[in-house]
């Protein structure tokens, strides 16, 4: 398998780690990119974008990011806060009056953004087609009571985060979240990232496949745990790949799970955030806004998967699992199946790993790449006294 792209001098070991993901860990198709300041120092891709046809992964292949989308959504909400259009500590119902129904009047914007709204699932039955309509899903959540199960305030809001945050952006600004991100971030930073992929770009999108054990039986009986059953995701059932790869899913704007982009552009986005909101003379956020956005709002054990979790305002923070590499101040957002998208502020680095085979954790593929990148950066540091 050929590794395509390049690495800057000193980063050759990252390309070796990328190649090992194919030879040792059966990677299907993937890309990995990293910026240091405004310089693209790693830009790699390889494998196949469509395992059925053998279509190769190209420099411009677009990849489904799953929850990597959530970091983009966080930036949009933070920009509205920076402009004074939205107060993170205000009740969400200030901007979305219908949300106050059923005892939700005190739930704040920050609680929504940090997965503490106690709305980790939708009680009303919904179809896959319904899921592609963010306004409908937001309406169902606005009518729903918050859960009384004490675990719900620490339960990851995998799908509902996006419907809630996307509706807030729409209520405050008038644009959909996809349009807002395109206008305020993607175009200014020249990013190939879309929340709602235009039809003419669908041929560039890779085909997402599931690795062993990633999918669940859609007809499995209730677990006996109402919280677990409520949060069972239609995106991980055995029939989900047909949805992931459908034109309707690619067109939709599901603000928590279905942005598509290149690893190169996601790394550029996070390089901008790592530099305090500015890249190549383009400022998209103030440094003070990012400091607020990175402030920890929740840390603990996720009750359903029994693992550590930490959140700021929409961004994931580092935990002892080091999902963003061996860097304490890292932040960003991982995506289901193994992708990683984040910033290393002290190093002024933005990075992204995107792949088209979703696997269960622990996944050695991103860990090997991030370790190699970190080692390369440390080796390039001047020696003491130099």
CB-based burial, 276-310: b 16+ in 10 Å, e otherwise = bbebeeeebbeeebbebbbeebbeeeebbeeeebb
The per-residue pLDDT for 218 is 67
Beta bridge partners of 317: 331
pLDDT at 208 over 90: yes
Beta bridge partners of 373: none
As a whole number of angstroms, the distance between CA 14 and CA 8 comes to: 10
Among 157-166, 213-222, 236-245, 277-286, name the one with the lowest average pLDDT: 213-222
Output 221 or 358, whichever has higher pLDDT: 358
The per-residue pLDDT for 176 is 98
Going by pLDDT thresholds of 50, 70 and 90, the confidence category of residue 185 is very high
Q: Tokens 């792209």 label which residue?
A: 5
Q: Which residues contact 335 (CB under 8 A, 6 or more apart)?
A: 65, 66, 67, 68, 69, 341, 354
Rg of the chain (C-alpha set): 20
Going along the chain from its start, the domains and CATH numbers come out as 3-74+179-379 (3.40.710.10)
Tell the burial category of 251 from Cβ atoms under 10 Å away from its Cβ (0-12, 13-18, 19+).
Answer: middle
pLDDT at 158 over 60: yes
The per-residue pLDDT for 236 is 82
Q: What is the mean pLDDT of residues 79-94?
A: 99
pLDDT at 47 over 90: yes
pLDDT at 8 over 70: yes
The per-residue pLDDT for 233 is 79
pLDDT at 167 over 90: yes
Could you give the residue ranges of the DSSP H alpha helices within 144-297? 160-173, 177-181, 187-189, 226-230, 240-244, 247-251, 263-274, 287-293
The most distant pair of C-alpha atoms in the chain lies apart, rounded to whole Å, by: 65
pLDDT at 385 over 60: no
The per-residue pLDDT for 384 is 58
Half-sphere exposure of 172 (CA within 13 A, CB side): 27
Asked whether the beta carbons of 241 and 98 are under 8 A apart, the reply is: no
As a whole number of angstroms, the distance between CA 200 and CA 62 comes to: 12
pLDDT at 186 over 80: yes
pLDDT at 272 over 70: yes
- % of the chain residues with pLDDT over 90: 91
Terminal alpha carbon distance of the chain: 40
Average pLDDT, the chain: 96
As a whole number of angstroms, the distance between CA 144 and CA 139 comes to: 9
Look at strands 39-50 and 63-64 and give their pairing: unpaired
pLDDT at 220 over 80: no
Token readout for 73 is: 């959504």
Beta bridge partners of 341: 333, 352
The per-residue pLDDT for 290 is 98
The per-residue pLDDT for 44 is 99
Output 323 or 128, whichever has higher pLDDT: 323
Q: pTM value?
A: 0.96
Q: What is the pLDDT of residues 298-353, one digit of tens each?
A: 999 999 999 999 999 999 999 999 999 999 999 999 999 999 999 999 999 999 99
DSSP structure string for 217-233:
-TTPPP-S-HHHHHT--
Q: What is the mean pLDDT of residues 78-92?
A: 99
Token readout for 136 is: 């409908």
Output 87 or 224, whichever has higher pLDDT: 87
Q: What is the mean pLDDT of residues 170-194?
A: 99
As a whole number of angstroms, the distance between CA 172 and CA 86 comes to: 7
The residues annotated as belonging to the active site are 67
The per-residue pLDDT for 383 is 55
As a whole number of angstroms, the distance between CA 73 and CA 173 comes to: 14
């Amino acid at each position: 398998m050929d590794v395509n792209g390049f690495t800057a001098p000193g980063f050759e070991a990252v390309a070796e780690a990328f190649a090992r993901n194919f030879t040792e860990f059966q990677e299907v198709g993937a890309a990995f990119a990293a910026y240091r300041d405004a310089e693209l120092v790693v830009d790699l891709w390889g494998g196949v974008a469509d395992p059925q046809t053998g279509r190769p992964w190209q420099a411009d292949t677009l990849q489904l990011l799953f929850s990597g989308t959530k970091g983009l959504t966080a930036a949009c909400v933070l920009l509205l806060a920076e402009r004074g259009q939205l107060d993170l500590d205000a009740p969400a119902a200030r901007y979305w009056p219908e949300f106050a129904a059923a005892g939700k009047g005190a739930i704040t914007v920050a609680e929504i953004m940090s997965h503490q709204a106690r709305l980790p699932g939708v009680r009303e039955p919904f179809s896959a087609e319904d899921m592609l309509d963010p306004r409908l899903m937001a309406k169902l959540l606005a009518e729903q009571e918050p859960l009384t199960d004490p675990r719900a305030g620490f339960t990851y809001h995998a799908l509902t985060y996006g419907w809630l945050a996307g509706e807030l952006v729409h209520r405050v600004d008038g644009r959909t979240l996809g349009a807002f991100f395109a206008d305020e971030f993607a175009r200014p930073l020249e990013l190939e990232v879309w929340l709602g992929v235009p039809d003419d770009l669908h041929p560039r999108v890779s085909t997402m496949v599931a690795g062993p054990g990633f999918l669940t039986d859609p007809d499995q009986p209730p677990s006996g745990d109402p919280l677990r059953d409520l949060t069972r995701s239609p995106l991980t059932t055995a029939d989900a790949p047909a949805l992931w790869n459908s034109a309707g899913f690619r067109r939709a704007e599901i603000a928590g799970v279905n942005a598509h982009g290149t690893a190169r552009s996601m790394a550029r986005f996070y390089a901008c955030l790592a530099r305090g909101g500015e890249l190549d003379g383009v400022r998209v956020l103030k440094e003070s806004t990012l400091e607020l956005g990175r402030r920890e709002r929740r840390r603990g054990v996720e009750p359903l998967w029994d693992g550590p979790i930490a959140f700021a305002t929409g961004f994931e923070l580092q935990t002892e699992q080091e999902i963003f590499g061996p860097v304490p101040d890292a932040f960003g957002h991982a995506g289901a199946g193994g992708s990683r998208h984040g910033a290393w502020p002290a190093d002024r680095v933005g990075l992204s790993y995107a792949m088209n085979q979703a696997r269960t954790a622990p996944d050695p593929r991103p860990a090997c790449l991030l370790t190699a990148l970190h080692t390369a950066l440390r080796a390039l540091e001047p020696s003491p006294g130099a």
